[in-house]
Amino acid sequence: MLRPVEMVKIGLLGLRDDEERILTLLHDLRVAQVEPLSPAEMAEFGPERGSETLRRIGDETLRFRALLTALPHVGAPVPRRFDSVADIFSAAAAVPVDNEVGELKREDDRLLTEKKAAEDSLHLLGHLTFYTDRLEYLRSPNLLTFYGEAGPEAFSALRASLPPSAEGRFLVGPTADPVRFLLVTRPAGADALSRAAQSRGVRLTALPAFARTVPEETADLTARLAANAARRAEIASRLEAIAREWYPTVAAIEEALAVENRKAEVLAKLGASRAVFALEAWVPKREEERLKSVLQNAVGGRLHFYEVPTHEEPPTMMHNPNGVRRFEFFIRFYSLPQATEWDPTLIFSIVFPVFFGIMLGDWGYGLTILLICVWMIRGFPGAKYLPRAGKNFVKLIMGPKGMQQLAWALLPGCVLAIALGLVFDSFFGLDLFHVLFGFNAPTDPLRAVNSLLLIAGFLGLGMVTLGFVLGALKEYFHHHPRGALGKVGGISFAWGIAGFGLQVIHQHTISLTPTPLVLGCYAGLAAGIGLLVFGEGPMGFLSVIDIISHVLSYTRLVGILLASVVLAIVINDIAVIAWHSSLGPVVGLLSAAVVVLIGQSFNVILGVFEPGIQGARLIFVEHFSKYFSGNGKPFRPFGAARTHTVSSIGPDGQAVPGPILQGPPT
């Protein structure tokens, strides 16, 4: 789990007659990332050339994707099988609904446009009830008519700033705020009018070419909308009837053509001669033997399968258990690990919840955030009732899938925060058990700052040490002995400075007595600096400062915890003062409730962002910097899952016996 899946580059040399079968297997197995053939191999073979068949596949793909988009999804079709490209073309030629579906879809699009225009016109007419004459009186080749809405001040400013060249005339409605008005002006003053309206934030809408009165036009548009809806319902009903008969066939053919298109894209990476073809691909090492066996079995042994020696950086494929896999989101967000370095997802999945729980440390906040996370995981039920501003703000931060991934990651941290909150007897900053039952908490974070800082320091020392250990192993595996010694020097210096600091804290002075502990500290410091400089050169001196700052940086775990506790206490104290104010018991109680609701809601938001951001930062910066390079290339295997089709070749490489729903429906 601490390493990405080991990759190996393989090569295939096979007969052109077996090329289609091999590509189908590679597509369905989805274990090989096909790469462009190396220059040396390409010089021997030359590029694979496309054919007229590929062009026809592309054309048919566009045709059936359009059909699939136009037809409603009806039911779950039974998967179909096509034994060859000729079978796909034969089934495609038997589908006769293109013209009818196209005409219906174009008509529906036109009706939808008309519907939108009619609705906009109806909305505008709803604001023009103050105009009782025929609307055609407002139309003239020498006049322009606009409808506008504005606040009283903006309307007065627009009216005062209208240039004389516009010769504007206003017809104002009865409402005072907002002011609704009609403005008739000469075309020569249109530009000046537009600038004046824009500068004052007044939106003007050109009046459509209405002729009759507002009630008559409203009745006509309402009737047209009803006819529009009836016709669109007829079109939807006809499309559904066509889909019930043809959707399974169309979906199967589209998917089969998509498979052939993916094969065509791969062909550009192959090399070929008149009789043979060559292919290179990255595959997981654990899949190499199975892939070799299946391919050899499929073509009766007429295939040369070999490993390609290379110094290229392999693509990265992470493989973690289900619970740990949810934290891959954070690692990918930071940077995908290289295939030849450590995969830190397991470390992140353990350490991040611990840091989050420590910094939150309140069972009221922990329970609240836990419930919010459960709500997010369940798909945000009832989210439509939330204020639009809040929803838009959340969408700016992260999409729904990302929010669900974040919720899963915060769950264990919330559980730990609840546990620590019970130990601290902290419920939204209130020592609830002490108030209700007279119970004294085992630990009060405000009175145990020294102990908590010591624990945070040891956590930092452990994380920095683990980072250097992984860094040393990485350098060793990459045959960089000096780099490995530099990482060992970092461990030595970190422990030396920690021992030195503990000694100063304990004795309140720098001890010069040559005790074993003192000598060990000085030896660790000296050895650490020497190895850092040896392994990293002059940059080793800068690493000394980094190590000290990185270890001390973990004390922010306590700082954020204390900040949250103090802020909660302040909010509660202000609420108590408001409750006992001279404004009376009712007003005081309402004021206290408002203070608690707003203040504690703000602290809950901080309880998500601060521990989340700072916890991730401590791992990304202070820990990852010791061994993690990132910038890995994702493993993208050739192929895709089948939904509406089944392969004509089984997973063992043998042909699947018997057709499955061959041919178009009768």
Task: Find the helix or strand (DSSP H, E) in which 357 lies.
Answer: helix 345-360
Q: What is the pLDDT of residues 408-431, one digit of tens each?
A: 999 999 999 999 999 998 999 888
Q: How many CB atoms lie within 10 A of CB 110?
A: 11
Integer angstrom CA distances of residue 387 from 84, 395, 533, 606: 55, 13, 58, 20
φ, ψ for residue 130, nearest 5 deg: -75, -10
Q: Which residues pair with 205 in a beta bridge?
A: 147
Task: Find the helix or strand (DSSP H, E) in which 443 lies.
Answer: none
Provide the pLDDT for residue 22.
Answer: 92
Q: What is the pLDDT of residues 278-291, one digit of tens each?
A: 999 999 999 999 99
Q: Are 259 and 614 in contact (CB under 8 A)?
A: no
Record the tokens describing residue 292, joined without a space. Answer: 């070799």
Provide the pLDDT for residue 303.
Answer: 93
**pLDDT for 659 beyond 50:** no
- Span of 61-70, 143-152, 555-564 with lowest mean pLDDT: 143-152
What's the whole-number mean pLDDT along residues 429-453? Answer: 84
Record the tokens describing residue 428, joined without a space. Answer: 């939204």
Give percent above pLDDT 90 in the chain: 50
**pLDDT for 511 beyond 70:** no
Task: Find the helix or strand (DSSP H, E) in which 220 lies.
Answer: helix 214-267
Confidence of residue 273 (pLDDT cuts 50, 70, 90): confident
How far is 455 from 557, CA to CA, in rounded Å?
A: 10
Q: Are 225 and 115 in contact (CB under 8 A)?
A: yes
Closest CA to 464 of 520, 352, 547: 547
Q: Are 84 and 659 in contact (CB under 8 A)?
A: no
Provide the pLDDT for residue 513.
Answer: 62
Confidence of residue 509 (pLDDT cuts 50, 70, 90): low
**pLDDT for 204 beyond 80:** yes
Task: Find the helix or strand (DSSP H, E) in which 160 lies.
Answer: helix 152-161
Cα 566 to its chain centre, rounded Å, is: 34
Record the tokens describing residue 643, joined without a space. Answer: 């939904």
What's the whole-number mean pLDDT along residues 464-490? Answer: 93
Closest CA to 75 of 246, 255, 232, 236: 246
Confidence of residue 665 (pLDDT cuts 50, 70, 90): very low
Confidence of residue 205 (pLDDT cuts 50, 70, 90): confident
Provide the pLDDT for residue 265.
Answer: 87
Confidence of residue 471 (pLDDT cuts 50, 70, 90): very high
CATH code for 111-221? 3.30.70.2750
Provide the pLDDT for residue 395.
Answer: 64
Q: How far apart are the first and last CA of the chain?
A: 53
**pLDDT for 196 beyond 90:** no
**pLDDT for 96 beyond 90:** yes
DSSP string, 298-347: HTTT-EEEEE----SPPPB-----HHHHTTHHHHHHH-PPPTTS--THHH
Provide the pLDDT for residue 652.
Answer: 64
Q: Which residues contact 493 (CB under 8 A, 6 or more apart)?
A: 524, 525, 527, 528, 529, 532, 544, 547
Q: Are 67 and 251 in contact (CB under 8 A)?
A: no
Integer angstrom CA distances of residue 209 from 129, 147, 180, 281: 17, 13, 19, 65
Confidence of residue 663 (pLDDT cuts 50, 70, 90): very low
Q: What is the pLDDT of residues 222-232, one digit of tens each?
A: 999 999 999 99
Provide the pLDDT for residue 27.
Answer: 92
Confidence of residue 655 (pLDDT cuts 50, 70, 90): low
Record the tokens describing residue 607, joined without a space. Answer: 């309880």
Report which DSSP code applies to 136: G
How far is 500 from 548, CA to CA, in rounded Å?
A: 12
Confidence of residue 391 (pLDDT cuts 50, 70, 90): low
Q: Are 449 and 562 in contact (CB under 8 A)?
A: yes
Provide the pLDDT for residue 194.
Answer: 82
Provide the pLDDT for residue 79.
Answer: 86
Closest CA to 447 of 462, 425, 428, 432: 425
Confidence of residue 55 (pLDDT cuts 50, 70, 90): confident
Q: What is the pLDDT of residues 315-332, one digit of tens each?
A: 999 999 888 998 998 999
Provide the pLDDT for residue 54.
Answer: 84
Give the burial class of 425: count Cβ atoms within 10 A of its Cβ; 0-12 exposed, 13-18 middle, 19 or more buried.
buried
Mean pLDDT of the chain: 87
How far is 192 from 349, CA to CA, in rounded Å?
A: 63
Q: What is the pLDDT of residues 512-547, one digit of tens each?
A: 566 677 788 888 889 999 999 898 888 888 888 889
Provide the pLDDT for residue 480.
Answer: 92
Provide the pLDDT for residue 581.
Answer: 74
Provide the pLDDT for residue 397.
Answer: 65
Which has more pLDDT, 583 or 294? 294
Confidence of residue 617 (pLDDT cuts 50, 70, 90): very high
Which has more pLDDT, 341 or 587? 341
Q: What is the pLDDT of residues 553-587, one digit of tens each?
A: 999 999 999 999 999 999 989 988 888 876 777 88
**pLDDT for 624 beyond 80:** yes
Q: Please tell me whether the overall predicted TM-score, pTM, comes out greater than 0.85 for this model.
A: no
Task: Find the helix or strand (DSSP H, E) in which 650 lies.
Answer: none
**pLDDT for 433 beyond 70:** yes
Cα 234 to its chain centre, rounded Å, is: 39
Q: Which residues pair with 307 in a beta bridge?
A: 10
Provide the pLDDT for residue 660.
Answer: 44
Integer angstrom CA distances of residue 594 from 311, 330, 368: 65, 36, 18
What's the whole-number mean pLDDT along residues 338-350? Answer: 93
The one-letter amino acid code at 138 reads L
Closest CA to 644 of 75, 90, 245, 262: 75
How far is 534 from 531, CA to CA, in rounded Å?
A: 5
Q: Which residues contact 31 (CB under 8 A, 6 or more apart)?
A: 283, 284, 287, 291, 637
| Radius of gyration for the alpha carbons in the chain, expressed in angstroms and rounded | 36
How far is 97 from 248, CA to CA, in rounded Å?
A: 13
Long-range contacts of 471-479 (CB under 8 A, 24+ apart): 471/626, 471/627, 473/342, 473/627, 474/341, 474/342, 474/627, 477/340, 478/340
Handedness of CA 555, 557, 563, 568 (dihedral sign): negative
What residues does each domain of the chain span? Answer: 111-221, 322-360+362-444+555-626, 450-553
Provide the pLDDT for residue 654.
Answer: 65
Residue 281 DSSP SS3: strand
Task: Find the helix or strand (DSSP H, E) in which 272 lies.
Answer: strand 271-272
Q: What is the 3-state secondary structure (H, E, C) of 531-595?
A: HHHHHHCCHHHHHHHHHHHHHHHCCHHHHHHHHHHHHHHHHHHHHHHHHCCCCCHHHHHHHHHHH
Question: How is the chain split among helix, strand and coil, in percent rounded to 5?
Answer: 65, 10, 25
Handedness of CA 300, 306, 312, 313 (dihedral sign): positive
Confidence of residue 111 (pLDDT cuts 50, 70, 90): very high
What's the whole-number mean pLDDT along residues 247-253? Answer: 92
Q: Are 427 and 361 in contact (CB under 8 A)?
A: no
Provide the pLDDT for residue 345.
Answer: 94
**pLDDT for 254 beyond 50:** yes
**pLDDT for 605 beyond 80:** yes
- Span of 34-38, 66-70, 184-188, 570-574 with lowest mean pLDDT: 184-188
Q: Which residues contact 273 (CB under 8 A, 6 or more apart)?
A: 45, 46
Which has more pLDDT, 659 or 73? 73
- How many C-alpha atoms does 510 have within 13 Å on its Cβ side? 3
Confidence of residue 190 (pLDDT cuts 50, 70, 90): confident
How far is 239 from 244, CA to CA, in rounded Å?
A: 9
- Cα angle vertex 358, ends 547, 595, to 5°? 125
Residue 12 DSSP SS3: strand
Closest CA to 367 of 422, 434, 443: 422
